[in-house]
């Protein structure tokens, strides 16, 4: 496991990288007795409303592959919103948990016009209107009375298709689900 000096160096570098885009982010780097390896804990209000896989992807994109490979590969990552605990985030479902339900969820979204409504809501330039989350997808799902766990599960199906935000739902998940489960 890493030394305290190495932990401090990694924390300092992460704050340099992430601080400008996530002002006030709290970062802890320590050896975890629970996992018996280095653990990175990130806490920021912007994680509220994001699924765990979205949080990780946003951080990884900001940190970059080079620093990740050099200093962070193999570490446990925990991304928390204020008020959340490690156990809360560990209990949250992941996209892989939806493999069996995916066909039913996908067919429902394809058959009920969800993607057409999302396209209309995103406008002519979905990449430009995307905020990097599922805000518009969630709004369209809510309008279709898909709420709570059903809404979360639909978003996890999008993540299973490599879509982590609204524009990726339109540009990646839509086509993948249509190809796999029927025409859209």
Q: What is the pLDDT of residues 19-73, one digit of tens each?
A: 999 999 999 999 999 999 999 999 999 999 999 999 999 999 999 999 999 999 9
Query: What is the pTM (predicted TM-score) of this model?
Result: 0.90
Residue-level pLDDT at 184:
45
CA–CA gap between residue 83 and residue 69 (Å, rounded): 30
With a cut of 50, which residues of the chain have pLDDT below it? 184
Distance CA 91, CA 97 (A): 12
Give 16's contacts (C-beta < 8 A, 6+ positions apart): none
Q: Which two tokens stand for residue 133?
A: 């989350």
Question: Which region, left, alpha or beta, applies to residue 137 given φ > 0 means left and ψ of -120 to 50 means alpha?
Answer: alpha
pLDDT of residue 2: 64
Q: Whose CA is closest to 157, among 86, 83, 8, 51?
A: 51
* Residues 6+ away with beta carbon under 8 Å from 17: 62, 63, 64, 67
């Amino acid at each position: 496991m890493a030394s305290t000096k190495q932990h401090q160096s990694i924390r300092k570098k992460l704050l340099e990288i992430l601080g400008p885009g996530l002002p006030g982010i709290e970062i802890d780097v320590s050896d975890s007795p629970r996992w018996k390896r280095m653990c990175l804990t990130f806490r920021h209000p912007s994680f509220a409303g994001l699924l765990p896989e979205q949080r990780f992807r946003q951080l990884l994109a900001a940190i970059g592959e080079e620093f990740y490979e050099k200093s962070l590969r193999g570490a446990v990552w925990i991304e928390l919103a204020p008020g959340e605990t490690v156990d809360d985030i560990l209990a949250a479902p992941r996209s892989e948990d939806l493999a069996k339900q995916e066909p039913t969820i996908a067919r429902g979204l394809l058959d009920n016009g969800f993607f057409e409504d999302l396209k209309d809501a995103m406008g002519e330039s979905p990449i430009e209107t995307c905020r990097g989350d599922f805000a518009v997808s969630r709004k369209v799902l809510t309008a279709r009375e898909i709420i709570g766990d059903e809404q979360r599960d639909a978003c996890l199906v999008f993540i299973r298709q490599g879509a982590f935000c609204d524009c990726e739902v339109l540009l990646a998940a839509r086509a993948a689900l249509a190809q796999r489960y029927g025409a859209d």
